[in-house]
Amino acid sequence: MKRSLNFIFAAAFAYQMIIGVVGIAVPIYADMMGASLFIVGLIGSAGGLIYSFMPFISGVLCERIGRKRFISASLFSYGSSCLLYSLVNKPLMLIPIKFLEWISVAAFWPSIESIIADSAPGRLEDALKKFNMSWGLAMIIGPLLGGALISKFSIISPFILSMFIAFSFGSLSILMIKEPDGKLDANEPSYENLENGGDERLIATALASIFLFSSTTGILVSLFPSYATNLGISAFEIGVVSFAFGAMRAAAFYQANRIERYVRKAGMFLLGSLTIGVASLATFYNHNTSSFLMCFLIFGFGAGISYAASIASLLRWHRLSRGHAAGVFESFIGAGYFLGPLIGGFLSNFAANAPYIYISLLSFTVLLVQLTLKRKFSHG
């Protein structure tokens, strides 16, 4: 089982990396084909729309059909979407391919998270630490690799490399992944077994935190580069600021268990929301690279601990159906990725820095809810 789990961590790294490679290539490819900004926006929103509901469906189905089959199929279908990207020559054709790409993504993550949870009974936090580090580091490397491939070779090269990686891991997954037996560990806490039939207050807090995480990340990734460019900040400096966000988030993942020992799970939720709120206010009021760098380090820390606390809580909910819980978790991420840039983009028509006031208001609203429910937490 350890060999299977290590392969799963490698697959999570590879999958997130090629998502980053393809993610930077598609809008550039669309622009090269003459797409308007509106069409580029439609292409990007297609993925977010799919991911707002498909992970929930995938989480339920993977329990019935088999998570290993879902992981293998998602890798092959993602590779197929990369092949299709490399063949089209009209920007509107990128939209249905984007649907296929994100249907594949929606099948992959709930299956991976579910099988990790069942493969590491009694040591869920340790397994999730490795998982979060895997995709967190890949999220930093992917866009850098994609940009390098486009600069060095051609716009098609990111799709070809991603297709090769997806097909390779899809083939290996058939041999390497083993389905765990799904037996419960009597020593592992389940939030379904807490007082009053389950601590739904904790689950609501976790879902609010992950929605805050994804809304914030969506706005920073989608809107900040354009905002910073209009302030006269260079592309290199924007890259450094974005790298700082990813690096600090990965560091927060790595230290999540230690942070929890000091502040407990409820404290992680509170600290995550507070730091995101403070960073968003600072971003609203500042306009230079050094200030943005500090803000994005704070953003990264808050996003990292919010994610780590939320996924651990959700995967202990509905423990007889890990896929269901993982599907709910990923769907809330998709909803934030979709609604965050959508609301932020609308507000930016009134003021370029208005999206950061929205993040701040959302952060402090979530914080207020968490403070209200903190006394109700019946776990460590």
pLDDT tens-place string over residues 165-192: 999 999 999 998 887 765 555 455 554 4
Strands (DSSP E) contained in the chain are none
**Mean pLDDT score, 14-29:** 87
Q: Place 193 in a pLDDT band, splitting at 50, 70 and 90.
A: very low
Q: Place 229 in a pLDDT band, splitting at 50, 70 and 90.
A: confident
Is pLDDT at 313 greater than 50 in this prediction?
yes
- Selected residue with higher pLDDT from 142 and 273: 273
pLDDT at residue number 1: 66
Token pair 């007889």 is found at 320
**Tens digits of per-residue pLDDT, 327-361?**
888 888 888 888 888 888 888 888 888 889 999 99
Q: Is 28 exposed, middle or buried (0-12, 13-18, 19+ CB in 10 A)?
A: middle
* Lowest-pLDDT choice from 13-22, 51-60, 274-283: 51-60
In the chain, CATH 1.20.1250.20 sits at 2-176, 195-376
- Give the N- to C-terminal CA distance of the chain in Å, as an integer: 29
Query: For the packed helices 235-254 and 124-152, what is the interaxial angle rounded to 10 degrees?
Result: 160
pLDDT at residue number 122: 66
Please count the other Cβ atoms lying within 10 Å of the Cβ belonging to residue 351: 11
Give me the architecture of the 195-376 domain, per CATH.
Answer: Up-down Bundle (1.20)
Is pLDDT at 54 greater than 80 in this prediction?
yes
Is pLDDT at 50 greater than 60 in this prediction?
yes
**Tens digits of per-residue pLDDT, 61-94?**
887 888 889 899 999 999 999 999 999 988 889 8
- Selected residue with higher pLDDT from 208 and 226: 208
Is pLDDT at 376 greater than 60 in this prediction?
no
The fraction of the chain above a pLDDT of 70, given in percent, is: 90
**Mean pLDDT score, 114-129:** 78
Could you tell me the fold of the domain covering 2-176? Growth Hormone; Chain: A; (1.20.1250)
Q: Is 52 exposed, middle or buried (0-12, 13-18, 19+ CB in 10 A)?
A: buried
